[in-house]
Amino acid sequence: MLYSGEDAFVVETSAFIRAGIEAEEPTLVVVSARKIDRLREELGADAAHVAFADMADVGANPARIIPAWHDCVGGRAAPGTRMRGIGEPIYASRSADELVESQRHESLLNLAFADARAFWLLCPYDTQALGPAVIAEAFRSHPHMTGGGAAAVSSQYRGLDEIAAPFRAPLPEPPADAARLAFGDEADLASVRRFVVSELARRGVAGERRGDLTIVVNEIASNSLRHGSGAGELVIWSAGRRAVCEIRDGGEFDDPLADRRPPSADRPGGRGLWMANQLCDLVQVRSLDSGTVVRLHLAI
């Protein structure tokens, strides 16, 4: 949904919400706290029929949003009942890294809910606040576009096959002064853990958060040894008020939703990436010609 400014947002989304209330369709709205306040004011008594959540909480790490929608669809809508959602993870104050991952999330929604015929999700984009490149990407990641009362199929939508393909968007190279450690067998994992603790302490990361990231890196490095190329490299550096840990290996990553599904006994792997998204502020996964890259961001 394209809109221009907050007033237009309220007009367009409140109409979508009221149509859901009239149809007795459960509705969840995940947007900024300010927009939630505006919608509650606009809806009046009807707001009691709607669930609201702050995107700053739900989607600080964009990879947490799809699991939240899955929980909602599974927990709120009765069998055979259509459900409505509004989610706005893309907004002007996102960092460049967060924006790319939010755009990836928007594409993956199509894959994650390809079979959810009773789930109708509206994704608002503010043409007043977002640049032309962001709006152009919205046309590629959404099969249907609406705005100002008009609706159309997006001829630029990339389709599920392309969305499911390995994600190869480039990442900036680590700085020249980044700390590096190569690992090649299970015995090296103890060195990996010590390296993480030491480097994060040197960068001012609090003890509990050091422990969190050490667990995550250990899991992902273990995956590199067992399911990747059998060896990898750990790189750690500082980026503003964040510490960044990157694990590289020569393996392939071809499951685009692996980090957005809870670990399952009948599906091997995925535990490390799931934990990463629960404990880290941002996770970037890439499948490049040289192998797989997992980049973890942790606020200092």
What's residue 77's pLDDT? 57
Q: How many Cβ atoms are within 10 Å of 154's Cβ, its own excluded?
A: 14
Asked if 213 and 280 touch (Cβ cutoff 8 Å), the reply is: yes
- Would you kindly state where each structural domain of the chain is located, as residue ranges? 2-164, 179-299
Give the pLDDT score at 187. Answer: 82
Q: With the C-alpha atoms ordered 137, 71, 11, 60, is the resulting torsion angle positive or negative?
A: negative
d(CA 78, CA 100): 34
How many CB atoms are located within 10 Å of the residue 59 CB?
26
pLDDT per position as a tens digit, 69-127: 998 887 665 667 889 999 999 999 999 999 999 999 999 999 999 988 889 999 999 99
Fold of the 2-164 domain: Rossmann fold (3.40.50)
Q: How far is the C-alpha of 52 from the C-alpha of 154, rounded, in Å?
A: 28
CATH number among 2.60.40.10, 3.30.565.10, 3.40.50.880, 3.40.50.1980, domain 179-299: 3.30.565.10
Residue 199, phi then psi, degrees to nearest 5 = -70, -40
pLDDT score, position 271: 83
Q: Hey, is 291 helix, strand or coil?
A: strand
Rounded to an integer, what is the distance from CA 52 to the centroid of its chain?
A: 19
pLDDT tens for the chain, 300 residues: list them. Answer: 999 999 999 999 999 999 999 999 999 999 999 999 999 999 999 999 999 999 999 999 999 999 999 988 876 656 678 899 999 999 999 999 999 999 999 999 999 999 888 899 999 999 999 999 999 999 999 999 998 878 999 999 999 999 999 999 999 999 999 999 999 988 899 999 999 999 999 999 988 999 999 999 999 999 888 877 789 999 999 999 999 999 999 988 888 999 998 887 666 566 889 999 999 999 999 999 889 999 999 998
CA-based nearest residue to 16, from 90, 85, 68: 85
> Is-contact 279 213, C-beta < 8 A?
yes
Backbone angles phi, psi at 93, to 5 degrees: -85, 0
The pLDDT value given to residue 72: 84
Tell me the C-alpha distance between 263 and 219, whole Å: 13
pLDDT at 291 (0 to 100): 92
List the beta bridge partners of residue 295. 246, 284
What is the pLDDT, as a whole number, of residue 228? 77
The total of other beta-carbon atoms located within 10 Å of residue 294's CB is: 25
